[in-house]
Chain A
């Protein structure tokens, strides 16, 4: 089962979609005047989707209807958009886009090509190459107006840290190399930072391609898409550990002074360690629990290319669960947060009881095989966290002289 990923701009008018031979479904992102307002999943049994079918489907979709109706009415009545927080060019902080990559030059090429459409004044670009095995990434980065940094210690958080330390902007916009961003992405990620209380901005991430069953499964059960409605999270409406709702690391912006001052990408968590993931979850948790505000904005659109093969999917799923449990352990051990106990208990219950024993499963819960992988990930978490702590201590020890000299320079 494969799907074609498409994007349709409503203001340009609808046309028949014909080049769908070989696909069973079309995953269509609907945009109006450049803004994503919803997505559709249509069967294409005969290789085409006619305008009629499309119109019908759009007219049926609740989310699209609501967004479209609001946009239409605002246009017609000349009612301006509600301004979220203070506005103004002069308050806009400078930004640095940081792309962390590791041994995936072909992905990096696509990512940087898309990013170059986002160039604006006050924005610069940094590529952090994490423990590369050859210089292909460096060669590709040399072809673009970006700053190339090398981080020899393996681990995504090391790369993110290096990026933060060398960046010039006040706002750090992080993305991964397997992401293709929309031209308005940087501007949309940067705009909410005018409000001094906003510390986190996350964007909408949709699937870039759905060519293999693993990609389909990932998009269906563990989608990065957090909806087409702008949301603000703070202590009053979210538990700080419930970071999954806030957004994903593939499209996240933070303030530099907080990343460095609070050591948000500290050791022990993140891809490349034995905890495997969870660095951005920890950053979200820390900032939310300190009372900052997080903004999820669907205007910042990025396309994520999920792992194509099944082995990678399984590894990623395993890693996400291990990572999240590691965040829980860390918040419990380091910050003495009683909420972590609640989450540990609740999630363990859900994993073991709901998923594996096949009870209380909703229509969209993942199949038992995937649930079992998740469970294995959670079971591996305590050991992985402790191992990661031990290993990171060694790494930090090894890096020490290097780090000291850097601090002196700075």
Chain B
């Protein structure tokens, strides 16, 4: 066989488009002795074509609607070693034949797909044909992608070439596909089955203009597709997953058309004719979505018309359908890649065997899955790599960098791990906040207690035994002084112990950090260059008839190691002298406020305080040893007016405490944040409960005096109101989880109910107060109240409780809503 190209063109009718194409083929850069052209025509060649003077040998053959047979005959006539199949829609550039021949020389024995940039005509024509053109060019662009996975569908290309020996080996196109489009698809499937390599090249060519209104042609194409797919399924039953053959159309109109097609074809025809009229009407009016919808119905009808042409009876369709479902699927080989170990030998793995689907694993966990597809080439390393690149997120890449030194070297940033100390002694890392799925530990209906402890990273963790009765443990993970998060460890039911290994496993899965965690020295002043400011602080505790609780609080205060502070205990409207007696045993200052209300008590305490920073805590908290240091750290940012901190449960022993922590709680996250008015949306400004509570907050004297302290008429929700006024006055607030206190939640259900009643009432009062003080915000506050708080919050919670969709007890929803209701009747003094 001669070295050259036989160009085979199939054309329906000899028109000017064919003439243009033949003339362009005369202007190739390839010498004319290296190619010939064979045109397979449906009709006799016209005089116009015969009179063309072309520099290359040209033959015409007649195919008479036997497109496949025509191609085969033409291929037999061809005397060169490469066959190039061209569509008459194409207008080739001068490089076309040269590029094809070159691609075959570079890797012989494959299929070369011409990849051209299509300059199709743009006009005011039909919307849907524009859409189809766009899709078509997109597919062509995809073929040129390096990571494209070639399949049988790529062969419906307007130009592809193949060596003649392979074509003859596969016995050419199947003559059974007379005029249908399935011929190329079927040929493509056989090519893929033989493992013949595909290749896409880039050439210059453009699309010949089509007649503008070709929607009837589109419908005809749908019909031939239907015909072709049945024929393909008869030959290759494993293809059924890719075709719409198996699923009859759903929907009223589509279903009726489909039913009529088999039983009453005439009625179906009339209906489809009506639809065509409707379609034309919509197209004229430019109603795009309606147009598209009607055309989809029509297209589907024509597809099934094609199926009907081959099978004729619905029974035949059903039988074929049964046969297809009984057919055993192809066996696909799956490649499992463990990212931690397998990446270096990826190429080798793929060289040894051929794989069809891919599963990515990281440390045994599945990360991505690429399902197998019928008649698509086997996975190449490029495909696997592209899949990895598009499926790994940042966290995973950073973790991979720990295993692969060459990846580590490329990192532009230090990866988020536990090395090095930055400013303030805090590690330079960000961890995603732990996603702990709060769940009540229960064994056969009885709720178990939760053990709470903390783990300082790098300082060891002695095994805690004797935890019988506890269902789980909550462990606060601290790195140096910074709390990183809480992990939840499930304890075994008998002989419950909490070991370091169980803890580390929990850290790994809930916080996304791999142990071992390197240690950071635990010292108050980590960097010698940094001399922290330690201003004197007044701690103000407001208490009301809870001397025994206050005792625990004072005990924790005694352990503080801060250089200069004073403690003021304000006894708010006491019933007895027990608090006074308790304080007299210590060196703290005792004040008494006769009028009831924590707001008055705190204002009184602040008025009597000596120092310039007031730290407010409640009597039911225990403070952390470094608490005051961290509060002082917060104020090193000059503009910060108030600092609030993290509040964690001290104990979770009773169901009421669990409930409180599970639905709400006081924890506001483990990431430090700043709040200022300009950077909060209107709703975020109102949600000041995100900023903290008086159980753990500190404020500068100047700011406190400028806004005149707590509102004297607001005895519940007073802290929320204070924060709102701080924000409105332009102050900067800081939330710092490092300032940590442990809060003793209410133990009994009744107390909890009362607390939630107070929350509802307090929040309602708060909203009323701020809408009185800031009339310009009234619209936002009203919207927030109605939509967010009442409807989305309380009423929705009550509704889902009534429907039984949540574990939250109905009584608590009621009491909070009742509190909100009651807040209507407390009027704000001076509001009228």
Contacts and interface: CB of A to CB of B under 8 A. Distances in A.
Interface of A: 1, 10-11, 13-14, 32, 43, 45-46, 50-53, 55-56, 58-60, 65-66, 68-70, 72-80, 82-88, 91, 194-197, 234-236, 290-293, 336-339, 358-359, 361-364
Given A60-B430, A236-B131, A291 B412 contact: no
B120 A337 contact: no
Contacts of A235: 127, 130-131, 134
A291 B135 CA distance: 11
27 contacts: A1-B678, A13-B412, A45-B637, A45-B732, A46-B637, A52-B422, A56-B429, A59-B413, A59-B429, A60-B430, A69-B392, A70-B390, A73-B388, A73-B397, A75-B410, A77-B385, A83-B146, A88-B202, A91-B117, A197-B117, A234-B134, A290-B123, A291-B130, A292-B122, A336-B286, A358-B779, A363-B684
A14 B389 contact: no
Given A10-B412, A196-B118, A79 B286 contact: no
A135 B382 CA distance: 58
B411 A72 contact: yes
Nearest to B636: A46
Interface in B135-160: 135, 137, 141, 144-147
Contacts of B123: 290
A339 B288 CA distance: 9
A236 B393 contact: no
A70 B428 CA distance: 23
B133 interface: yes
A69 B394 contact: yes
B27 to A, nearest CB: 17
Contacts of A14: 412-413
B596 interface: no
Interface string B200-213: 00101010000000
B587 interface: no
A68 B732 CA distance: 33
Interface string B674-685: 100010111110
A210 to B, nearest CB: 14
A363 B685 CA distance: 10
A85 B117 contact: yes
A236 B118 contact: no
10 closest cross-chain pairs (CB), A and B: A363-B681, A52-B422, A65-B394, A291-B130, A10-B412, A196-B119, A79-B385, A69-B394, A69-B397, A52-B428
B423 interface: yes
A409 to B, nearest CB: 29
Contacts of A51: 422, 428
B517 interface: no
B639 interface: yes
Interface in B90-141: 115-120, 122-124, 127, 130-131, 133-135, 137, 141
A77 B388 contact: yes
A236 B129 CA distance: 11
Contacts, number: 147
Residue among A65, A87, A197 having the largest count of chain B Cβ atoms under 10 Å: A197
B168 to A, nearest CB: 33
B411 A197 contact: no
A32 B394 CA distance: 15
Given A10-B412, A50-B422, A77-B389, A86 B429 contact: no
Nearest to A82: B145
Contacts of B639: 45
A58 B343 CA distance: 27
B423 A52 contact: yes
Contacts of A358: 779-780
B134 A74 contact: no
B330 interface: no
B417 to A, nearest CB: 11
B370 interface: no
Nearest to B122: A290
Interface in B556-577: none
B809 interface: no
Nearest to A90: B204
Given A235-B131, A336-B286, A337-B286, A66 B393 contact: yes
Interface string B730-756: 001000000000000000000000000
Given A76-B406, A337-B286, A291 B117 contact: no
Contacts of B407: 72, 76
B392 A43 contact: no
A405 B396 CA distance: 67
Interface in B661-717: 674, 678, 680-684
Contacts of A359: 783
B266 interface: no
Contacts of A75: 410
Given A10-B413, A76-B407, A197-B137, A86 B397 contact: no
B386 interface: yes
B389 A73 contact: yes
Nearest to B127: A235
Contacts of B430: 56, 59-60
Nearest to A84: B141
A72 B637 CA distance: 36
B414 A55 contact: yes
A291 to B, nearest CB: 4
